[in-house]
Chain A
Amino acid sequence: MGRIILEQVTKSFGDVNVIPPLDLEIEDGEFVVFVGPSGCGKSTLLRLIAGLEDVSSGQISIDGRAATELPPAKRGLAMVFQSYALYPHMSVRKNISFPLKMAGLDQAEQNKRVEAAAKVLNLTDYLDRRPGQLSGGQRQRVAIGRAIVREPAAFLFDEPLSNLDAALRVNMRLEISELHNSLETTMIYVTHDQVEAMTMADKIVVLRAGHIEQVGTPLDLYRNPRNLFVAGFIGSPKMNFIEGAEAAKHNAATIGIRPEHLSISKSEGQWKGTVGVSEHLGSDTFLHVHAKDLTSEPITVRSDGEVDIHHGDTVFLSPQDDKIHRFDKEGLRIS
Chain B
Amino acid sequence: MARAVTPARKATVTVFAWGVGLLIFFPILWTILTSFKTEAEAIASPPSFVGFDWTLENYSTVMERSNYFLHFLNSVVISVGSTLIGLLVAIPAAWSMAFVPGKRTKDVLMWMLSTKMLPPVGVLIPIYLIFRDTGLLDTRTGLVIVLTLINLPIIVWMLYTYFKEIPVDILEAARMDGASLRAEIIYVLTPMAVPGIASTLLLNIILAWNEAFWTLNLTAANAAPLTAFIASYSSPEGLFYAKLSAASTMAIAPILIMGWFSQKQLVRGLTFGAVK
Interfacial residues, chain A to chain B (CB-CB below 8 A): 50-52, 71-73, 77-79, 81, 83-89, 98-99, 102-103, 130-133, 136, 146, 150, 156, 163
Contacts and interface: CB of A to CB of B under 8 A. Distances in A.
Nearest to A71: B175
B274 A79 contact: no
A152 to B, nearest CB: 9
Interface stretch (B35-43, B147-155, B180-188, B239-247): B180-188
Nearest to B170: A85
B13 interface: no
B180 A73 contact: yes
B178 A99 contact: yes
A71 B271 CA distance: 27
B107 interface: no
Contact of B167 (A51, A83, A102, A132): A83
A17 B192 CA distance: 34
B175 A83 contact: no
Contact of A50 (B176, B180, B187): B176
A320 B100 CA distance: 58
B172 A131 contact: no
Interface string B239-276: 00000000000000000000000000000000111111
Nearest to B173: A85
Interface of B: 167, 169-170, 172-180, 183, 187-188, 191-192, 271-276
Contacts of A50: 176
22 contacts: A50-B176, A52-B175, A72-B172, A79-B172, A81-B169, A83-B169, A83-B276, A84-B274, A84-B276, A85-B169, A85-B275, A86-B274, A87-B170, A87-B173, A88-B271, A88-B272, A88-B273, A102-B177, A131-B274, A150-B177, A156-B176, A163-B276
Contact of A73 (B169, B175, B192, B272): B175
A79 B173 contact: yes
Contact of B192 (A83, A89, A146): A89
B179 A102 contact: yes
A221 to B, nearest CB: 30
A335 B171 CA distance: 49
A86 B273 CA distance: 9
Contacts of A52: 172, 175-176
Contacts of A88: 170, 192, 271-274
A100 to B, nearest CB: 9
Residue from A83, A89, A156 having most chain B Cβ neighbours under 10 A: A89
Given A132-B272, A156-B176, 7 more contacts: A77-B176, A79-B172, A85-B167, A86-B170, A87-B188, A99-B178, A102-B179
A79 B177 CA distance: 8
A97 B272 CA distance: 20
A156 B271 CA distance: 25
B173 A150 contact: no
A87 B176 contact: no
A150 B273 contact: no
Residue from B188, B192, B275 having most chain A Cβ neighbours under 10 A: B275
Contacts of B275: 83-85
Contacts of B172: 52, 72, 79, 81, 85
A286 to B, nearest CB: 33
The 9 closest A-B pairs by CB, nearest first: A132-B273, A88-B274, A85-B169, A102-B178, A85-B173, A99-B177, A132-B272, A83-B275, A72-B175
Contacts of A98: 174, 177, 179, 187
Nearest to A158: B169
Contacts of A102: 177-180, 183
A98 B184 CA distance: 11
A85 B173 CA distance: 6
Contacts of A133: 273
Residue from B178, B271, B273, B276 having most chain A Cβ neighbours under 10 A: B178
Contacts of B188: 87
Given A73-B180, A87-B170, A130 B272 contact: yes
B18 to A, nearest CB: 32
B178 to A, nearest CB: 4
Contacts of B170: 85-88
Contacts of B174: 87, 98
A79 B187 CA distance: 19
A214 to B, nearest CB: 29
B172 to A, nearest CB: 5
Nearest to B179: A102
